Amino acid sequence: MAARDQAAPEAKEALASLCSTYWYPLYAFIRRSGISPHDAEDLTQEFFYNFLERDSLRNVAPAAGKFRSYLLACLKNFLSNRRRDQRTQRRGSGAALISLDASAADTRYMREATDKMTPESLFDMRWACTVLEQAMAELRREYVQRANGEMFDDLSGFLTDREGTAPRDKLATKHGISVGAIDVAIHRLRQRFGALLREQIMQTVSAADEVDEELRYLISIMDI
């Protein structure tokens, strides 16, 4: 919504964040659709060019539902139109809107378990990963700001594994605190991560009561 209002002072920053955050799920969908790495890179750039040129964000409304679904529908429509007219010169060619590390992107894509996934399921999984990564990055930023970056690095493993990556007693000794204090720190870390994750999801749904549904879906898609 912030990116949609081009007259707003925060629109440019919001738009840049939107593109840089969500380009990879789109790229992965295009690659899984049978497109070569080079063409997938071009099509991703072209999609954003058309998406913004047509002011597609103006169709995003608070009651429009999940932005994830809307963006994927726009991409499918774009690819369908491109297939109908392969002779159309790509608009915006040479004017890259977002910075794509194509080599790294395709290396990342090749590591996906794509043999069991449709383009849609891969898009959703990468979207879920992106949301998790954004929440994790914000959580780490908060800890670093409080000069607790090392504590975050030591405890972050407990977000995905109840046993973490190191014994709690060794972490307590390392940081000069009790095991009980480590347990409290882990509990607070998990609570804050959950709150930040919900905040990330809230930015991509139309109402607060959709957050839990989207969260459950994104967690389920990670099990593919």
Q: How far apart are CA 134 and CA 117, in angstroms?
A: 23
Judge whether 8 and 110 are in contact, CB under 8 Å. no
Q: What are the distances in angstroms from CA 9 to CA 1, 4, 51?
A: 13, 11, 20
For 89, residues 6+ apart whose C-beta sits below 8 A from its C-beta are none
Confidence band of 128 (pLDDT split at 50, 70, 90) = very high
Confidence band of 94 (pLDDT split at 50, 70, 90) = very low
pLDDT of res. 139? 96
Q: How far apart are CA 145 and CA 163, in angstroms?
A: 26
* pLDDT tens sequence across 168-221: 999 999 999 999 999 999 999 999 999 999 999 988 887 888 899 999 999 888
Average pLDDT (109-127) is 81
Q: How many CA atoms lie within 13 A of 33 on its CB side?
A: 19
Average pLDDT (154-163) is 86
203-212: long-range contacts, CB 8 A cutoff, minimum separation 24: 203/67, 204/66, 204/67, 204/68, 204/131, 205/65, 205/66, 205/67, 206/61, 206/62, 206/63, 206/64, 206/65, 206/66, 207/62, 207/63, 210/65, 210/66
pLDDT of res. 141? 96
Higher pLDDT, 111 or 183: 183
Sign of CA dihedral 157, 159, 162, 168: positive
pLDDT(1) > 80 = no
Amino acid at position 223, single letter: D
Higher pLDDT, 6 or 220: 220
The structural domains of the chain, with segments of one domain joined by +, span: 1-111, 125-224
Q: What is the pTM for the complete model shown?
A: 0.77
pLDDT(135) > 90 = yes
Judge whether 56 and 99 are in contact, CB under 8 Å. no
192-200: long-range contacts, CB 8 A cutoff, minimum separation 24: 192/139, 192/142, 193/135, 193/136, 193/139, 193/159, 196/135, 196/138, 196/139, 197/131, 197/132, 197/135, 199/135, 200/131, 200/134, 200/135, 200/138
